[in-house]
Amino acid sequence: MKRVCVCALLIAMATSLYAAKDFDSAWQAGTLRAVTSDTGSRTVGVLNQGHGILAQHEYTVLHYVIDAPGFTYEANQTINSRRDKPYLVTVHAAILFTVHGHDLSIKDEEGKVRKLLLVQKVARQ
């Protein structure tokens, strides 16, 4: 029984190390062209024993535009609460990023990996 657990643990560790290596090798260099923002709100309601309450929830969407060789990427960060802060990045400066499906991850100026929602990928000519 111990051998099975040890083998499973070794396989899990090897898989995670391989995935981390693959993730690190996928970083691309690009230029952050623009960061713009839009604000919006939505109305949410709660019904409790026949009495309802309506509240308005405000949010901010930050749009990041990244130029890379061959493509231009647009990704969004949604700021829902006071705890959420814009990422520390410099416009018109180099930025490292990687794309995984609908996610675009960037490295901010502190070296932290930040996840954005990929909205658009446009081929440049």
User: What is the per-residue pLDDT across 87-117, written as a single tens digit (0 to 9) for each?
Assistant: 999 999 999 999 999 999 999 999 999 999 9
Whole domain around residue 52: which residue ranges? Answer: 27-123
49 or 54, which is more confident: 54
Q: Going by DSSP bridges, is the β-strand pair 51-68/113-123 parallel, antiparallel, or unpaired?
A: unpaired
> The whole model's pTM is what?
0.73
pLDDT at 20 (0 to 100) = 47
Q: How many domains does the structure of the chain reveal?
A: 1
The pLDDT assigned to 120 comes to 95
Single out the residue of 63, 77, 62, 70 nearest to residue 122, CA to CA: 70
Residue 60 lies in a domain: yes
Give the separation between CA 24 and CA 20, rounded to whole angstroms: 6
In a domain, residue 69? The reply is: yes
Which is nearest to 78 in space by CA: 105, 112, 117?
A: 117
Residue 63: pLDDT band with limits 50, 70, 90: very high
**In this structure, is residue 112 part of a structural domain?**
yes
Alpha helices (H) along 1-125: 2-25
